[in-house]
Structure 1
């Protein structure tokens, strides 16, 4: 009897530990859950962006879908975490889907978030039902150097030092020069600038360096789910190079925006929402 009681206590203690672990597990992102529906959509923002970048997109889907909107750790004021790498973020988003028993979600990502959507669909081909990639390429560096190869043990320390030793004014000036290259809708400029300056500099540098060294061109051959690739208008001029990058993606449907820059959801909003709605609801 005494042995039986000890066994029961041990089992209860184990169950308690597992429950506490489940409640306290930290992922490298914050999640905002909205909407209602059996089908889920996971929104992944791009580099240094808040999940708020999807605000105007989500209102079109929250009636029929449960939406999980991420903001990555270290970006747009979210507390940073150690081990900020592209691969870690990819795996932890996949773990979140599995841990929360989200069945076959649609994953939508912008910029680096689009890269994460591609990587998740490639490495976890049975986990999700569809992906939408908003203005991202399998290998950004290869657009300038088609022979680019990722470096093993890539040293990001120089970039981290450069970013973290900048004064606030220097960093702000750099971002002020960068954002007009990414966005035509000037009503959103201050918002994007605010997200950037609220981002953790170390995370900013580490992820920029790591994503610049990421090459998914071969990996995307394993993607099985339907994939919608929405690209900014300028990229139509580089179509042969982009087709070459995406040649291993057999499930892709490609559409080029009519106007605007990198933030397609703002610069060509009506076209973007039409493409998204047709693909998601089909």
Structure 2
């Protein structure tokens, strides 16, 4: 097969190679992965810690006829190659996603973030509030440590984070090889399964999440978790001008026994925001898209129709 381009003929094989090359060149501009599905208004979806874009498969299936879904896999997570940035890799992801919105000319996208990805979504929206059309938080908060504890010393937290960051960066290759060997043992997997039962009910989903963990770059994830732990965005939510929907789970917080206790802390963290709606699942654990999908998608639909 031949294809005419201008004054030249090229074979289909060469044409396909050129297409693939141009795609790779574009993709190399960003260290995160992105899957684009659907048509319509833009919606960006960020999964949680070590999560794959597949986290949102059911959500994308629901919205693909009305939204173009840009589904992210963060650098170093679930098989996506890690970023070369070591000092501020999470900030790097924030800035790259902002750049992606600008360069792809995505007009006022809906920004959806789950858990770890929810905090990152808050950081994006509060850094460039002019770019975001609406923010949907799936059990994500401005300051994770502030949910678990009433009082935290940020100076101490940030000092400890700097110390841990140096240790992670300075660790030698044989250390990471040892860590990887431990992470892929049967015992480690069994403990991970028990831990995940606190966050999601379906055992098939638990194994899927653990598979993503296996595929993740442990050094990269440690660096980003460390950076996230020192990030306090409670005051920053006041900068977000777009409407915010927060869908929370109280059963996912193992240290709390009542929905009212968790809800009060969520309300306090989001109180500086101008337009925020907070609703809690009665039944779902942390992974709301797996534990209480119909309720979650119903709340999202209602919110999106109201803006």
1:52-101: CA deviations, max 9, x gaps? 00000111110011110111111111111122622211111111000111
Structure 2 alignment gaps of length 5 or more: 1-21, 254-258
* Counterparts of 1:24 and 1:241, CA distance in 2: 40
| In the alignment, structure 1 residue 28 sits paired with structure 2 residue 51 | no
Matched position secondary structure for 1:155: helix
TM-score (norm 1): 0.86
Instruction: Return the offset for 1:190.
Output: 1.1
Matched position secondary structure for 1:229: strand
2:57 to 51, 55, 58: 55
Aligned to 1:119: 123
Matched position secondary structure for 1:156: helix
| In the alignment, structure 1 residue 187 sits paired with structure 2 residue 189 | no
1:51 and 1:69 in contact (8 A); partners too: yes
Aligned to 1:265: 289
2:75 and 2:93 in contact (8 A); partners too: no
2:97 to 71, 82, 93: 93
CA RMSD of aligned residues (A): 2.3
Matched position secondary structure for 2:286: coil
Q: Cα–Cα, structure 1 residues 246 and 164, in superposed 2: closer, same or farther, change >3 Å?
A: farther
How many residue pairs match? The answer is 263
* Counterparts of 2:49 and 2:144, CA distance in 1: 13
Matched position secondary structure for 2:35: strand
2:45 to 43, 46, 49: 43
1:115 and 1:138 in contact (8 A); partners too: yes
Instruction: Return the offset for 1:110.
Output: 0.3
* Counterparts of 2:148 and 2:295, CA distance in 1: 28
* Counterparts of 1:87 and 1:250, CA distance in 2: 25
Q: Cα–Cα, structure 1 residues 164 and 251, in superposed 2: closer, same or farther, change >3 Å?
A: farther
Structure 1 alignment gaps of length 5 or more: 1-18
Q: Cα–Cα, structure 1 residues 101 and 22, in superposed 2: closer, same or farther, change >3 Å?
A: farther
1:162-189: CA deviations, max 9, x gaps? 8764222164344223211211122311
Aligned to 1:231: 248
Aligned to 2:162: 154
Aligned to 1:64: 66
* Counterparts of 2:29 and 2:150, CA distance in 1: 38
1:107 to 105, 111, 120: 111
Instruction: Return the offset for 1:140.
Output: 0.6
Aligned to 1:7: none
TM-score (norm 2): 0.79
1:141 and 1:213 in contact (8 A); partners too: no
* Counterparts of 1:210 and 1:188, CA distance in 2: 27
* Counterparts of 1:73 and 1:187, CA distance in 2: 25
